[in-house]
């Protein structure tokens, strides 16, 4: 019983800042310190803010394009590691894949800024999409590999006995077995892209803005309750996604 109280207290402390943020999105006074009266004004402003809607659209486009690239190269990577039988080389390739996961955001950001400048790639949509694809790819590799390793070896042996070639194995056995994981990793990739600030900040250039970049520049100017309204909406979307995910997991458990 004591442990339940401790956990509940921790839970309250963890959520208090988020609740605080959301409560003040309904505040008619322009401050986050005293609550005057209830209003939906900030939500109205948010939906009439065409600049912001454009920025959300930018983020969605970047998320989808980079996720397509990341799923392609993530699948290639997972298949490459899966088929590499030499243990030493296999280990090395896994380590190379980990570089982007271990490297701090700032270092990835400045490294890509240097790369794009050196090769004369203009900062904007393309540089952001490429960068996001690069840091999402290793995550997808790690998501897909365990699924590939679950495939029964006898399936592959049977196909080889029936005369299948290496590329048939990939197309007929490997990919169909991991299709659902590829779809999940596609959405995971979109989320990481949509959420990223630390790397994106260095490669957006002047004209192109994604949502986290916009949140940052707004927050630097101080309290703005439109940001609170935006937080509430984003939190509700996340909550919805978590619930859908939980239901999906419990159903999957029953089928398996």
Partner 1 sequence: MTANKRVYNLFITWIIVFSIIPFVLILILSFFDGHGRFTVDNYIKVFDPLYLKLILSSVVNATIITVACSVLIIPLTYLITLQRKSSLWLTLFLIPTWVNLLLKVYAFLGILGSDGIINQIITSFGGQPVDFLFDIKGFIIVTVYIYMPFMMLPLYNTIIKIPKNVIKAAKDLGASETQVFFKVVLPLCKNAIASGVTLVFIPSLSIFMISRLVTGNKVMTLGTAIEQQFLVTGDWNLGSAIAIVLIAIMLIFNFVVQGSSNWQIRRREYEK
CB 190, min distance to partner 1, A = 13
Tokens of 103: 């490297």
- DSSP letters spanning 143-184: HHHHHHHHS-HHHHHHHHHTT--HHHIIIIIIHHHHHHHHHH
Quick one: DSSP state of residue 38? B
Quick one: DSSP state of residue 246? H
Using rule CB under 8 A, residue 29 touches partner 1:
no
Stretch binding partner 1 (CB under 8 A), from 38-46, 48-56, 145-153, 189-197? 189-197
Question: With respect to partner 1, which residue has the nearer C-beta, 26 or 112?
Answer: 112
Span 141-160, contacts to partner 1 by CB under 8 A: none
d(CA 169, CA 165): 6
Quick one: DSSP state of residue 132? H
Q: Are 144 and 188 in contact (CB under 8 A)?
A: no
Span 66-125, contacts to partner 1 by CB under 8 A: 73, 76-77, 79-80, 83-84, 93, 96-97, 99-100, 102-108, 110-115, 118
CB 117, min distance to partner 1, A = 9
Fill in the per-residue mask, 224 to 243: x = in contact with partner 1 (CB under 8 A), - = not in contact: ---x--xx--xx--xx-xx-
Report CA-CA distances (Å) from 179 to 84, 138, 231.
21, 17, 33
Span 35-74, contacts to partner 1 by CB under 8 A: 73
Instruction: Tell me which of 47, 187, 216, 248 binds partner 1, using CB under 8 A.
Output: 216
């Amino acid at each position: 019983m004591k442990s339940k109280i401790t956990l509940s207290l921790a839970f309250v402390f963890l959520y208090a800042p988020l609740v605080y943020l959301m409560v003040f999105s309904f505040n008619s006074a322009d401050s986050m310190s005293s609550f005057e009266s209830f209003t939906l004004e900030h939500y109205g402003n948010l939906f009439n803010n065409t600049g912001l809607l454009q920025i959300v659209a930018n983020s969605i486009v970047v998320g989808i394009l980079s996720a397509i690239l990341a799923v392609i190269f993530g699948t290639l990577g997972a298949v490459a590691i899966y088929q590499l039988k030499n243990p030493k080389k296999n280990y090395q390739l896994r380590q190379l894949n980990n570089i982007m996961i271990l490297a701090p955001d700032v270092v990835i950001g400045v490294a890509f800024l240097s790369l794009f400048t050196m090769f004369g790639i203009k900062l904007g949509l393309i540089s952001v999409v490429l960068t996001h694809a690069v840091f999402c790819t290793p995550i997808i590799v790690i998501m897909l590999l365990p699924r590939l390793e679950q495939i029964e070896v006898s399936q592959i042996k049977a196909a080889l006995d029936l005369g299948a070639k290496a590329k048939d194995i990939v197309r007929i056995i490997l990919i169909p077995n991991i299709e659902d994981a590829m779809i999940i990793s596609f959405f995971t990739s979109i989320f990481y892209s949509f959420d990223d600030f630390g790397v994106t900040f260095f490669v957006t250039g002047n004209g192109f803005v994604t949502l986290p970049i916009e949140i940052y520049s707004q927050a630097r100017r101080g309290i703005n309750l439109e940001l609170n309204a935006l937080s509430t909406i984003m939190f509700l979307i996340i909550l919805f996604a978590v619930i859908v995910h939980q239901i999906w997991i419990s159903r999957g458990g029953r089928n398996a």
